[in-house]
Structure 1
Amino acid sequence: MLKLSNWKHLRIPFSFYLMPVFFFALAFTPNHQPERLLLVFVALHLFLYPSSNGYNSYFDKDEKSIGGLRNPPKVTKGLYYLSLLFFVVSLCLGLMINWQFSSMLLVYSLVSMAYSHPSIRLKRYPYISWKVAGFFQGCFTFCMAYAGLSDFGWDVFSKSHVLIPGLLTSLMLWGSYPLTQVYQHEEDAKRGDITLSLKLGKKGTFYFSALWFLLTGICFSWFFLSRNQESAFYGFLAAMLPVILFFLIWFNFVRKDQEKYTNYSWTMWMNRISAIALNVFFVWYFLENTQILQVF
């Protein structure tokens, strides 16, 4: 369990790519409390997500590059137990806020386990896995983070002021998710996992993501303008500019030689640019929306 290879499969740094959802939820949290903020952040990004990464890696047994690992080491039974340990720690941290937040962490984990576990393996079903991954990593996580940060319960899922921005994060993930699969076609097909990207084809994946990126941009623009937040509207467009430019450049290369350019390196650079731009924007939006700096 303590082998370095097991810890590598947890891919803790990969949590950086999921932080925009947390910061977006933080921007709407009505009850800011430092200790609770730290607990939610640690529970999600240092234990829940790594637990999910490790658990899925154990059952996938990838031999080629996966998100955050160019050359994944061979998995062992110790990785399975380490992922479960991280899972239990995340639930305990959640209980330090309230049982409802902890139960949300549990639901997220069970869905994540179903994604790769051979008895269910949602990954086999292209549209179901796409919908489930986008919803739970986006809207569900937004609502869960909001509930934990605010010391609320399951009732947050019935609040439109929580659900609407939550669904916006899912739109973003539904656009980017197939791109994370575009370089794994050979290995997914070998295991019998018909991912959405595999079903769409490499070029089809880019056309599909382009449509969802356009829809995401329109919906986020509507959201900020409906709240009379023109600065946030322009800030979001500025944050998305490097992402869209990189996407277009990448797509241009793919159209010329899809086998050469649909690889791990291009995918990870897309993830890095997107995560950096959106993290910066949502941290700024949190400071702007809450006007928390005016307190000091």
Structure 2
Amino acid sequence: MFKKSSWLHLRIPFSFFLLPVFLFALSISPNIKESNLLIVFLSLHFFLYPASNGYNSYFDKDEKSIGGLKNPPKVSKGLYYLALVFDIIAILLGLYISWPLAIMLFVYGLVSKAYSHPSIRLKKYPLLSWFIAGLFQGAFTLVMAYMGLNGFGFNVFLLPQVVIPAILSSLILWGSYPMTQIYQHEEDAKRGDNTLSLKLGIKGTFYFTAAAFSVAVAAFVFYFMEYQQIKYAWIFVGSMFPVVMYFAFWYLRVHQDSAKADYKHTMWLNMISAICLSAFFIYFFIDRTQILQAIKGF
């Protein structure tokens, strides 16, 4: 029933690009439970995100490169059911921790379906789809992960120490999201999906991302200086340096040849960003929780 092509369209490795949001939630968590950490990680990165990828692929039926698949195979009805099975598993894993977490996972799944389902297809609306994608992959996911990691309920939506990092997560995704669409203009236009990147154009997407990313980095710096320690602000800026350098290098290539706004360069930018952000948040988690000092004490 589930063909190899269906499993490929889940694009499980692609979930790595959203790992920094989970790690940010982990790094600010005061009451981490080891079993919860594993369950939340698995439910998000091995089931919820792949379910969204598969569902999106089923209705998009892309013939050219998509995130995580340079040459996507043709989709079958089995992909639709496989995506639903993964959604259900994610929710059941969440329910093992708490019903509020299960509800959050369910809502995320509904929104991801509205993004691509032809009867709603938020993807057709440039600003709305950009806002919803950044909001749910960023702020909503951070709160959801925080709830699961610590076993908390919906009251976390009222906590500034959670809401502020949640907003920061969305800010950086709002800045980078149009870049993930830059190589799909032809496919999106053919389907009638007026993505923000398509509206901005290739160079406009670069300019928008540069401005939005700068705002996001500045907001992170303010957060670390105001609520954490100033050293984290400087280390965060340093960790973003490879991302900025690759972005500038890519822009210069695209300025000379617009064909360079392609799948390969987009995936490299995503990979570098994910690695740099993940490395920073792992460091932030280890240093802030003083895990190394605790280990040395034994």
Q: TM-score, normalised by structure 2?
A: 0.98
CA shift for structure 1 position 15: 0.7
Q: Distance in 2 between matches of 1:289 and 1:50?
A: 31
Q: Aligned letter for 2:91?
A: L
Q: Aligned letter for 1:31?
A: N
Q: Distance in 2 between matches of 1:101 and 1:294?
A: 32
Q: Distance in 2 between matches of 1:6 and 1:204?
A: 35
Q: Aligned letter for 2:272?
A: I
Q: Which piece of structure 1 moves more, 285-294 or 123-132?
A: 285-294
Alpha-carbon RMSD: 0.8
Verify: 1:285 aligned to 2:284, yes or no: yes
Counterpart position of 1:127: 127
Verify: 1:270 aligned to 2:269, yes or no: yes
CA shift for structure 1 position 292: 2.5
Q: Distance in 2 between matches of 1:135 and 1:174?
A: 8
Q: Aligned letter for 1:209?
A: T
CA shift for structure 1 position 228: 4.6
CA shift for structure 1 position 293: 2.8
Counterpart position of 1:48: 48
Verify: 1:197 aligned to 2:197, yes or no: yes
Q: Distance in 1 between matches of 2:149 and 2:104?
A: 13
How many residue pairs are counted as aligned between the two chains? 295
Q: Aligned letter for 1:268?
A: M
Map 1:140-151; keep pairs closer than 5 Å: 140-151=140-151
Q: Structure 2 vs 1, CA of residues 79 and 228 (structure 1 numbering), >3 Å: closer, same or farther?
A: closer
CA shift for structure 1 position 30: 1.1
Q: Distance in 1 between matches of 2:93 and 2:3?
A: 25
Aligned to 1:30, the other structure's residue is in SS state coil
Counterpart position of 1:37: 37
CA shift for structure 1 position 230: 2.0
CA shift for structure 1 position 204: 0.4
Q: Distance in 2 between matches of 1:228 and 1:12?
A: 33
CA shift for structure 1 position 229: 1.2
Q: Distance in 1 between matches of 2:149 and 2:166?
A: 15
Unaligned runs of 5+ in 2: none
Q: Aligned letter for 1:264?
A: Y
Task: Give CA deviations for 1:7-62 in whole Å, capped at 9, x if unaligned.
Answer: 00000001110000000000111111111100000000000000000011000000
Q: Which piece of structure 1 moves more, 154-163 or 68-77?
A: 154-163
CA shift for structure 1 position 250: 0.6
Counterpart position of 2:24: 24
Q: Aligned letter for 1:287?
A: I
Q: Aligned letter for 1:230?
A: I
CA shift for structure 1 position 227: 2.5
Q: Distance in 1 between matches of 2:150 and 2:292?
A: 19
Unaligned runs of 5+ in 1: none
CA shift for structure 1 position 294: 2.7
Q: Distance in 1 between matches of 2:136 and 2:208?
A: 20
Verify: 1:8 aligned to 2:15, yes or no: no
Counterpart position of 1:261: 260
Task: Give CA deviations for 1:91-121 in whole Å, capped at 9, x if unaligned.
Answer: 0000000000000000101000000000000
Q: Distance in 2 between matches of 1:39 and 1:75?
A: 29
Q: Aligned letter for 1:289?
A: R
Counterpart position of 1:78: 78
Q: Aligned letter for 2:88?
A: V
